[in-house]
Each structure stands twice: as structure tokens, then as C-alpha cells.
Amino acid sequence: MTDQTYGQTALAFLRLQSWLSPSFPNGAYSYSHGLEWAVEAGYVSDRRSLIDWLEADLCYGSGRNEAIFFSEAYRCVAEGAEDQLPELAELAAASRGTSEFVLESAQQSSACLTTLRSVWPDRILDMFLDPKCPPTVLAVLLGARAARERIAVDIALPAFLHSYVANLVSAGVRLVPLGQTDGQLAIAALELPILSRSEIASRETVDDLGSAGLMVELASIAHELQYTRLFRS
């Protein structure tokens, strides 16, 4: 590897870290993806049950599909099939199972797109401004943008899923509540599931989309009527 190639790779990785950082202004901290109701109902009450809940979502629920959408968006750009992105964005947007998931997805992706265009502009981002292109989701947007940076998918996808899980662990730490060390232990326990799901998703297509994480969907529906709420989903 030449010094120039190393510099370009390092720069791309720094950008990926910025996009997935808790400090990135996409409002992710205000959403719990139904976890708030799961805590209220007693399904999540400690570190072990938090890990179980998030692993199920990651491997069998909405997290599973997000990994596929990220991988497919990455593949569209990497293989020069960018004209397929609007259709993929439409499918991803339609896959939101509840009104709160629609709000969660639309708000985060819109904020992310605005910031990316302001700070790290790229022609691929303009495709998501086309009136013919439906509101996208974070997985499609970041999958496409990571491909433009030529970040290997076997790095970009696990990093994306790690960010997805870490945000929900942070919500769990506040809701249960748990200590900060318990939160980090939960993230560490989810490392292998993240890597496994990433490896599988990199070989999957939209034909493999599907979910058996019904409790996450039901939790989101119940959260809409939850009396006391800290989170918007």
C-alpha cells in the first residue's frame, strides 16, 4: 500500500466514524425503537434481557433487514447500478412497520442527508433529493455513501450495525436503568452477532428480506399510547 492509498483509506474511515458517531446530528438519541415500552412492560429489566432483546432484533427483526438494505445500497454503487437506488429506497421506506418507525426513519435520514450534503458533499447524495425518489432510510443512504468512499463493505456494514446497536444500548442504560459498565458489557456481548449478521447480509439480496421480530413491532405500536415517555419511538 502506498502512502497516498493509505491516506485515502484512513480519511474514508475517519469520515465513516463521523457519520456513525453519537455526536452526528441525526437525532438518533431521541428514539428507542420500541425499547422504552419493552422496559415498561418488564421484557427488558437487566443487562441480560437487554442483550437478548437487541440480539433478536439484530438477527431476526428490523436490524436484520437494515443490514440487507445497507449491503444492497453499497452493491448498487460499487457495481455501477446507481439507477436502482430509488427503487431500493422506496422498498426500504415501505418496510417500516409502524408509524413511529416511519417517523424515526424519516427524521434520522433527512437530518443525515442534510448534514452529509453540507459537510461531505457527493453526487450520489443528490439522487436522494429527486422528487421521484421517496424518502430514504439511513441504511440505504449510508450504504451508498460508504461505497462512494470505497470503504470495504466488511468494515462499513459491521460499523453501521455497531452504531445501530450502541444507540439502543445507550437508550437501555437510561431506561432500565443500567450502569455505564453494564452498557459496555452489553455492546461487547453483541460483537459476534454483529459480525455474523454482517457477513451473512453481505451475501443476501432484497429477496432475503423478512422479519420474525414481531415483539419489536408490537412494542413500537404499544409505545404510541404509553403514558410516560422519554423517547419518540
Rounded Cα distance between 11 and 41, Å, is: 44
pLDDT of 3: 46
| Position with higher pLDDT, 136 vs 14 | 14
pLDDT surpassing 60 at residue 228: yes
Q: Is the pLDDT of residue 231 over 90?
A: yes
> Do residues 116 and 125 make contact, with C-beta atoms less than 8 angstroms apart?
yes
CA separation for the pair 140, 209 (Å, rounded): 14
Burial of 147 (0-12, 13-18, 19+ CB in 10 A): buried
Using one digit for the tens of pLDDT, what is the confidence trace for 151-165?
999 999 999 999 999
Residue-level pLDDT at 165: 97
How far apart are the C-alpha atoms of 210 and 200, rounded to whole Å?
14
Note the pLDDT of residue 5.
Answer: 52
**Per-residue DSSP letters for 93-106?**
HHT--SHHHHHHHH
Q: Say what the pTM is.
A: 0.95
pLDDT at residue 100 in the model: 96
When the pLDDT of each residue in the chain is averaged and rounded to a whole number, the result is: 94
d(CA 81, CA 121): 20
Q: Per-residue pLDDT tens for 11-70?
A: 999 999 999 999 999 999 999 999 999 999 999 999 999 999 999 999 999 999 999 999
pLDDT per position as a tens digit, 173-208: 999 999 999 999 999 999 999 999 999 999 999 999
Report the percentage of the chain scoring pLDDT > 70.
96
Q: Is the pLDDT of residue 6 over 70?
A: no
Query: Whole-angstrom Cα distance, residue 126 to residue 131?
Result: 11
Given a cut of 80, whether residue 2 has pLDDT beyond it is no
Contact (Cβ atoms closer than 8 angstroms) between residue 82 and residue 124: yes
